Amino acid sequence: MFIDTHAHLTDNAFKDDKNEVVKKSFDCGVEFVITSGFNLKSSKEALKFAQEKENVFCSIGVYPENILELDDDTLAELEKMASDKKVIAIGEIGLQYTDNMPPREKQKEGFVRQLKLAHKLGLPVVIHCRDAYGDLLELLNENKEYLKFGGTMHCYCGSKEIAQSLIKLGLHISVGGVSTFKNASKLREALKEIPLSSMLLETDCPYLAPHPYRGERNAPFYIPTTAENLAKLKEVEVEEVAKTTTKNARELFKI
Ligand code: NI
């Protein structure tokens, strides 16, 4: 059995058939799905859907693109929402240094405020990072006291060395569809060196469907495809990937 540790089931792409998608995913060996918010609105939607569905949990938070909305009221609201037992992590939160993003200082400040919130609530964090691993590692090291409840680097695309630094901080490395892409040989080389005992599986659906479904709408039922690819890389049976990543996710998110 598998756990999809990062999905966006409340995305518009699933508006007509999310119940069917979830059912098909459970039929395909997915045991739990964690659906993720990225701002206050999507976090509320994620929680609502998780409340309605057995075996769907959620993470709530404000990610870089929306960080300017993170004020005291938003933080207080996230904290209130987190009292629901279906909220099992704070995220996705992080840094993104691509064009047209809010100022880096604002991103850093909002990220750290949410690290502190997660720590206060006793929850792990789900981290998003694009083109910002250097600053991210620096910030995480400065604030490692707030990482006591662990976390995951979602959609990991970095090097072996960065992964080792993240693991040293007690974080997990989450493997998604990108690891199956034809042009991702560098990432695959890194994944070979990262221990399975620190890995999780995810889709980040509706984005980033694994090969050979690349370009299609992604969904949790494609998790076994990513797992098979990872099993080949690690030269183990897919059952071992399933067993270990599921155990890791259950321990981290206390499911
Ligand atoms: Ni995401």
pLDDT in tens, 67-85: 999 999 999 999 999 999 9
Q: How many folded domains does the chain comprise?
A: 1
For residue 144, the CA-to-ligand 1 centroid distance in Å is 23
Domain that residue 90 falls in: 2-253
Full DSSP string of 102-126? --HHHHHHHHHHHHHHHHHHT--EE
- CATH number of domain containing 144: 3.20.20.140
For residue 232, the CA-to-ligand 1 centroid distance in Å is 25
pTM: 0.97
For residue 141, the CA-to-ligand 1 centroid distance in Å is 23
pLDDT in tens, 91-146: 999 999 999 999 999 999 999 999 999 999 999 999 999 999 999 999 999 999 99
For residue 114, the CA-to-ligand 1 centroid distance in Å is 16
Q: Tokens at residue 228, please? A: 């098979």
For residue 231, the CA-to-ligand 1 centroid distance in Å is 23
Distance CA 201, CA 176 (A): 6
Q: Quickly tell me which residue has 């494609």 as its tokens.
A: 222
For residue 192, the CA-to-ligand 1 centroid distance in Å is 24
State which residues have CB under 5 angstroms from ligand 1, the bound ion: 204
**What pLDDT is stored for residue 100 in this prediction?**
95
Q: Quickly tell me which residue has 């199956």 as its tokens.
A: 180
Mean pLDDT over 13-29 rounds to 97
**What pLDDT is stored for residue 132 in this prediction?**
97
Mean pLDDT over 39-58 rounds to 98
Q: Tokens at residue 119, please? A: 């720590």
For residue 204, the CA-to-ligand 1 centroid distance in Å is 5
177, with CB counted inside 10 A (0-12, 13-18, 19+), is: buried
For residue 7, the CA-to-ligand 1 centroid distance in Å is 6
For residue 166, the CA-to-ligand 1 centroid distance in Å is 19
For residue 234, the CA-to-ligand 1 centroid distance in Å is 25
**What pLDDT is stored for residue 198 in this prediction?**
98
For residue 27, the CA-to-ligand 1 centroid distance in Å is 23
For residue 173, the CA-to-ligand 1 centroid distance in Å is 14
